Structure 1
Amino acid sequence: HRYGGTISASPNFGFELCLKRVDERDISGLDLSSWRLAFNGAEPVSPLTVTKFTERFRKYGFRAETMAPVYGLAESSVGLAFPLPGSAPLIDSIERQPFMEHGKAVPASGDEAHSLRFVSCGQPLAGHRIRIVDANDSELPDRQEGRLQFCGPSATSGYYRNIEETKLLFHGKWLDSGDLAYMADGNVYITSRIKDIIIRGGRNIYPHELEEAIGEIKGIRKGCVAVFGAEDQASGTEKLVVIAETRKREREELQHLHSAVNICVTDLLGLPPDDVLLAPPQTVLKTSSGKLRRSATRDLYAQGHMGRKGRAVWWQLVRMGLSGLLPQLRKGIKRMSELFYAGYVWGLFYALAVPVWLLVVLLPKLEWRWAVVRRASRLLVRLSGTPLIINYLAEIPTNRPMVLVSNHMSYLDAIVVIAAIPLNVSFVAKMELKERFVARWFLFRMDVEFVERFDVEQGALGTRRIARKGTKGSSLFFFAEGTFQRIPGLLPFRMGAFVTAVQSGLSVVPVTIRGTRHILTSGSWFPRRGVVTVTVSRPIKPKGANWTDAVELRDAIRHEILRYCGETDLADTRPPVRGQMNT
């Protein structure tokens, strides 16, 4: 307010503190309009705090898009995921039951009281990557909770003088964050922590240290202390809870122990615990080997069952065995189902690919070859159980040539385009594919045009050759990004398609593909079930025949595809195209 500050950061509790402690009389005339980014991180971000803070301080110039929930960890130099500047916080409301039982983040239908809400922490920073995996390091699809792993230039090389922990941290080139999360439309949603570290007031609290110190207090049963964090519904932050077993029963003795625990925690952390519960022996849950079951004890505390008399040991053992067996059984069945589906899809692909390749090589007419490939593509889509939704926003002219431009998500894109669009086109492919014997013969017989991506002079010659082909009556198909990647998002478009369009005077049809990245992710050969949508937009005609017209055409087509692809804009991930058109 006083100095026109633009960027500030605080853990969630700081924003909650402003809501509770700041009096309206003390902020009369406050101006927060210069505040551009209010980073909210370092501890779990509460949806309620985000919403209430924005609502209360809106009248003082605070904008919704100023609130920026972020995610980082020391192993990634503090910062890993940030929302796009200028975007309001995304709060995902999901159904509680599917998430708790199967880890599926199913969007809630309506504003249900029993739904769970998580705040998006944005997308990975440039050059960084995030993936969500299961216990076997197999990548999970969108809206499936799993372990968050990351890599990038800011990642640590390991823990100082701690080889064992460093080994646990790395999974190949990926680092384990110790957090659970899920991805949705390119955004990461942190759900909980695998580690038992408690984050309070923006600080990491390690339970083991406190448990040992409290266990040294006379009257407390050593090794029978559990320290954990529990959600405080009233404050929207995490509170520090201490459960300590004791055989003392007298009121005066219990009061003395309660004070001793408070003093011990305050001495170590500089702040007292939020709740201290002195419980009788066998209250703190342990494994058969005597290891603390901290998470289970926390759940018992949250349910209000702490201190109640437990059932017989034999019943607890039976129940524990069954509760562990059923989830493992469901997980095993799910994994077997996924493996069977992947094997079935690959078997189906090769069963079709071999005869199709032979027919394409042998058939004399291009029309016949296209008929074979199109029928095989549609058969593959149908037999793999992949719903293909085609949205025509305008009719495709079949009486004249045109340039079709699409985004690129997966190796499946060409198959999907052939199955969805009833038009024989000349695909434009990278020159490297000519080096592979099987691909070269197939693509050559399908009238594919090859372009050089790395040699500027050869690339310009290829563009002119393709433009001449367009003027002679051939429709052309470009994947304008030139490549695809694991991270969701629309990359910058290369200029080849648009230079070709303005040189040949052909209209450009935007084609948007959605869903193939989830089915077959870059760097993975493990297909998954999913839905694919293809949207065909209205043709756009070039306004002229120079470089400026080509750039303007590129921007218009990219804007149209961005509307329907359902992914974030990654236009700034590479430098903009510079140069002039060869004529």
Structure 2
Amino acid sequence: MTDLQTSADPATTSPGAADTRRLLDIVRRLAGELRPNAQEVGTLGIDHSLERDFGLDSLARAELLTRIEHDYGTRVDEKALMAAETPRDLLRLTRQAHSPAVGNAAQEFTTAGSQGAARSAAANRPPDSALTLTELIDWHATSHGELAYATIAGSGDLSYRALRTGALAVAAGLVRLGLVPGDRLALMLPTGPDFFRVFFGALYAGCIPVPLYPPARLSQIEDHMRRSAGILANAEAAILVTVPAAKPLLHLLRAHCASLRQILTPGGITETGGAVPPIARRSDDIAFLQYTSGSTGNPKGVVLTHANLLANLRAMERASRVAAEDVFVSWLPLYHDMGLIGACMGSLLVGFRLVLMSPTDFLARPASWLWTIHRHRGTLSAAPNFAYELCASKLHEQDLAGLDLSTWRVAYNGAEPVSPDTIEKFSARFARYGLDPSAMTPVYGLAESSVGLAFPPAGRGPRIDQIDREALARRGIARSPAQSGRGSLRLVSSGLPLPGHQIRIADPAGRELPERTLGHIEFRGPSATSGYFHNPEASAGLFDSAWLKTGDMGYIAAGELYLTGRLKDIIIRAGRHLFPQELEEAISQLPGVRRGGVAVFPASDARSATERLVVLAETREEEESARRGIRAEIGHLAVDLIGMPVDEIILVPPRTVLKTSSGKLRRAACRALYESGNIHGTARAPWRQLLRLAVSGAGIRFTRLWQQAGGWLWGIWAWTVFALFAVPSALLVVILPGHGLRRQVARGGARLALALTGLSPTTEGLAGLDRAAPAIIVANHSSYTDVILLTAALPARFTFVAKQELLQSAVLAILLRRLGCAFVERFDAARGVEDTSAVERRVLAGESFVFFPEGTFRREPGLMAFRLGAFVCAARAHVPLIPVTLTGTRSLLRDGRWWPSYGPLTVVAGKPCLASGDDWQALLQLRDAARQDIRARLQEPDATT
């Protein structure tokens, strides 16, 4: 075996580490003041970028210079500091005048990470230089090998050293069996040490593990075998590892998978012994294949690399503010991505303590989950919505006496639709056992994004949107209802895209839709899969250019994602979008209906060539009178909730409704069962459905087509208006004398263009801006159209502060200079200070400017960090600073798009602010006050958290 990776960042263990930490403390402290909500600042290291990662612009470096010189008691070369790229560059500067004492940082690190010590990020979190899962294991085994990686119910503690030793033994056995790097190894094992040894052993051998789930019950063994055979054949698995009891049964699979050489037990692999030859692993190597739940006809194995997984884990770590001090309690099965990736791989990355239960223990005794959190002082745990519903509705009070959930700070709820009723019931019931309601954290993810994609702000708690059901169904618009009641629908926010990821809503043609418009959810980011294993057809259907299709429907409001259902499950009747989950949930509440045993789906009627709406509901009732009552209640509910009756109601025995391994309804499989004639029901006359579709659907379809055509016509008109007015206005700006007259022309052209396109903005608070006294405006930046909007709305005495890069365009350079714009360098720190000073002198001379303190814009919503230039100028020139909030421009013309979308625009000016001085704290107070004013009106997330 090759030598292990070094157990710590060399910067913290080499001679001079104490001085490194000293300097990093100064830089981190300053960055923390600039971005108080940015959790990642504390984890940034000696080689991270001062500008990009720490967020220190040229003006912040001036303060950094003061602090370094004060702390070190020496003078530092100012030009060299301004040119420094990383804290390591700063360290070289300080060492020219200062020689720090050498401390034994390695010994301190080992002591902090010893068995029994409290876990901390400094001692238990691997460095970001680790690029693969095996590197994470190596680091933990070397740094604190005796520390428990996981406490497993029934098996005790599994230490990092035992995990690595067992995995290497499996790897040696696989090599002796003839497996080579890239071969696939399937494992069908329960939660326990063997699963981890085989899974990670496959990685050490260079193989690709494929987790499979064991059969849930014997009554569905045939269906399970067919599904497993399809996965094994698609993965071309060479070996299947399972428990001894299942080995004889699984031999039946060999006939369906030509590549399958052997079916072994974990002990049968390690018996071969031997050493593992050195096998290099890269970040872009496939870590494992995650097969998605669904039908067996076309199994889809999501390809996930080490880079995908680590990017996702780091993003979730930031979003949830997870730390090594946390304790993650999980009963989720290890063949499920939320259990395997989120909990088990998350522990390797972050270093938190992992406590694992068997899924069967939870299902048999749901209270055992809560008591495990109580005993281990768990802070993190995750489960699908059904688990929270089970605990909220089914547990007896005597089973909970003495329970303490006060340490539970993040209760992830995902993997299936999240019910607002469930989270409210669970929070209310367990509040008296110490649970903080803000712990409930609805999240959204999918295997194609490794596991996580959208998380709400940490500690915020759930957010529920109440919308008009009819408007969503008929027009695809998520608007507030006129009044609460039957006509309203409640949906739970899944939060914001994970850091570094983007989400958009698109129509079937791939065009991005504005906020609060129902459409297809698409995403992109470093966690995204490259496609499905050995399935080019499915892979081709996954991508929409650079975006990946989730297969889910939803909308975005205030930057947060709201799911309405799976695209394949949505029922379109008479031009309306119907979402089966709401009706299924309501039917499940009826007396006599088995909870969770309801499926609503559309099905083809061969006799009428139309689509029927079918309800499949499980019940134990056998008396015909009771069954008639259930059917009548279901019929009434359907009319109340979706505004129309269903075509067929079928009552079936328990365990008839098909589900996936993780408990999700398999509506497509239920539909296939119905259409094959294996579920019998009484058909209704088809002419009623045909008449309803013809009468009520025709008008809605025509309206939608007209709206789509109208959007294209408006876009053409908008570009025509721009072309007609841009060129004449630009020529007048070039030839007319004086900045004032040129700006009046630009303002008039912008106002006329907005009026002709119907985009005249709603304004507020601009009346006092006509005064001649100099002032500085700071505005949020969302789109190229921000400049046009502000040019039209503001008095002509205001001009813009622009980035130097715009001067690279000859045409723009001429126009901007003729309008008297100021230019600021963003990347050369020393030049940036000089440019800001030049703007300050112009303000002192009586000019007024508009700054975009974010410095740039992006397509996804969110207010970014503010640079300090505008606030320095306002403070030193003693002029008022006015925060201005722009809304609507991001949807009008998003970054990366050139086709505009019509929507309302607003310009709102806040109250002028005056700096209390020109020192560092006064600048920060002025910046924070302006940013808070804009943030409060913007209704977009805070992109710095």
TM above 0.5, one fold?
Answer: yes
Distance 1:542 1:195 in 2: 56
1:62 corresponds to which residue?
435
Matched, 1:311 2:686: yes
2:456 matches 1:83: yes
**Structure 2 letter corresponding to 1:31:** D
The one of the two structures with greater contact order (alpha-carbon pairs below 8 A, sep at least 6) is: 1
Distance in 2 (CA, whole Å) between partners of 1:475 and 1:268 is 63
**Residue 203 of structure 1: aligned partner:** none
Distance in 1 (CA, whole Å) between partners of 2:917 and 2:933 is 20
2:426 is aligned to 53
Q: How does 1:502-517 map to 2 (within 5 A)?
A: 502-517=875-890
1:394–1:538: 8 Å Cα contact kept in structure 2?
A: no
* 2:716 is aligned with 1:363: no
Paired with 1:379 and 1:538, the residues of 2 have a C-alpha distance of 28
> AA paired with 2:411?
A
Once residues 48 and 228 of structure 1 are traced to their aligned partners in structure 2, the CA distance between those partners, rounded to angstroms, is: 13
**Partner amino acid, structure 2, of 1:463:** T
1:212 alignment partner in structure 2: none
Tell whether the 8 Å contact from 1:386 to 1:531 is kept in structure 2 after alignment. yes
Aligned counterpart for 1:479 among listed residues 852, 855, 863: 852
Q: What is the rounded CA distance, in whole Å, between the counterparts of 1:392 and 1:228 in structure 2?
A: 45
Q: 1:333 to 1:452 in 2, by over 3 A?
A: same
Where does residue 476 of structure 2 map in the other structure?
A: 103
Matches within 5 A, 1:421-440: 421-440=794-813
Classify 1:533/1:317 alpha carbon distance in 2 versus 1 (closer, same or farther; 3 Å): closer
Which residue identity lines up with residue 141 of structure 1 in the other structure? P
Aligned residue in 2 for 1:524: 897
- Name the amino acid aligned to 1:554: R
Does the CA contact (< 8 Å) of 1:45 and 1:69 recur in 2? Answer: yes
Provide Cα deviations, 1:329-368, integer angstroms capped at 9, x if missing partner: 4433222110000011111111111111111111112221
Is the 2:777–2:851 Cα contact (8 Å) retained in structure 1? yes
Q: Which runs of 5+ in 2 are unaligned?
A: 1-373, 571-579, 590-594, 606-621, 623-649
* Equivalent in the alignment of 1:148: 521
* 1:188-237 CA distance string (max 9 Å, x none): 0010102359xxxxxxxxxxxxxxxxxxxxxxxxxxxxx99972326578
Matches within 5 A, 1:67-466: 67-196=440-569, 231-233=584-586, 238-241=596-599, 284=674, 307-311=682-686, 328-392=701-765, 395-396=768-769, 398-466=771-839
Which deviates more from structure 2 when the two are superposed, residues 360-369 or residues 169-178? 360-369
Indicate the residue corresponding to 2:388 in structure 1.
Answer: 15
The amino acid across from 2:875 in the alignment is V
Q: CA RMSD in A?
A: 3.5
Q: Deviations over 1:141-189 (max 9, x none)?
A: 1111111110000010111111111111011111010101111110100
Tell whether the 8 Å contact from 1:229 to 1:240 is kept in structure 2 after alignment: no
TM-score (norm 1): 0.80
Q: Does 1:558 align with 2:931?
A: yes
Distance 2:486 2:940 in 1: 29
Range that drifts further, 75-84 or 56-65: 56-65
> Structure 1 CA distance, aligned partners of 2:750 and 2:843?
25
- Point out the more displaced range, 362-371 or 484-493: 362-371
SS in 1 for 2:884: strand
Query: Which one has the bigger helix percentage?
Result: 2
CA distance in structure 2 between the partners assigned to 1:529 and 1:112 by the alignment: 32
- 1:406–1:359 distance in 2 versus 1, CA, 3 Å: same
How has the CA–CA distance of structure 1 residues 442 and 49 changed in structure 2, closer, same or farther, with 3 Å as cutoff? Answer: same
Q: After the TM superposition, which segments of 4 or more aligned residues of structure 1 sit over 4 Å from their partners?
A: 227-230, 234-238, 240-245, 258-275, 282-286, 315-328
Cα distance change, pair 31–168 in 1 and its aligned pair in 2 (3 A): same
The 2-side partners of 1:121 and 1:268 are apart by 22
Specify the code of the residue in structure 1 equivalent to 2:788: I
Check conservation: 2:599, 2:657, Cα contact below 8 A: no
Q: CA deviation at 1:132?
A: 0.5
Q: Is the 8 A contact 2:597 2:657 kept in 1?
A: no
Q: TM-score, normalised by structure 2?
A: 0.50
Percent identity between the two aligned chains: 41
Mean Cα deviation higher: 392-401 or 146-155? 392-401
Provide the C-alpha distance between the structure 2 equivalents of 1:476 and 1:377, rounded to a whole number of angstroms.
18
For the 8 Å contact 1:262–1:272, the answer to whether it is kept is no
Equivalent AA in structure 2 for residue 239 of structure 1: G
Equivalent pair of 2:740/2:796 in contact (CA under 8 Å): no
Task: Evaluate the alpha carbon distance shift between residue 502 and residue 99 of structure 1 in structure 2; reply closer, same or farther with a 3 A threshold.
Answer: same
Give the secondary structure class of the aligned counterpart of 2:405: coil
> In 2, Cα distance between the equivalents of 1:259 and 1:115?
28
Which SS does the other structure have where 2:686 is aligned? coil
> Is the Cα–Cα contact under 8 Å of residues 425 and 475 in structure 1 kept in the other structure?
yes
Render the CA deviation track for 1:485-510: whole Å, top value 9, x for unaligned: 11111001112212222333332111
Aligned amino acid, residue 534 of structure 1 = V
8 Å Cα contact 2:449-2:528 kept in structure 1: yes
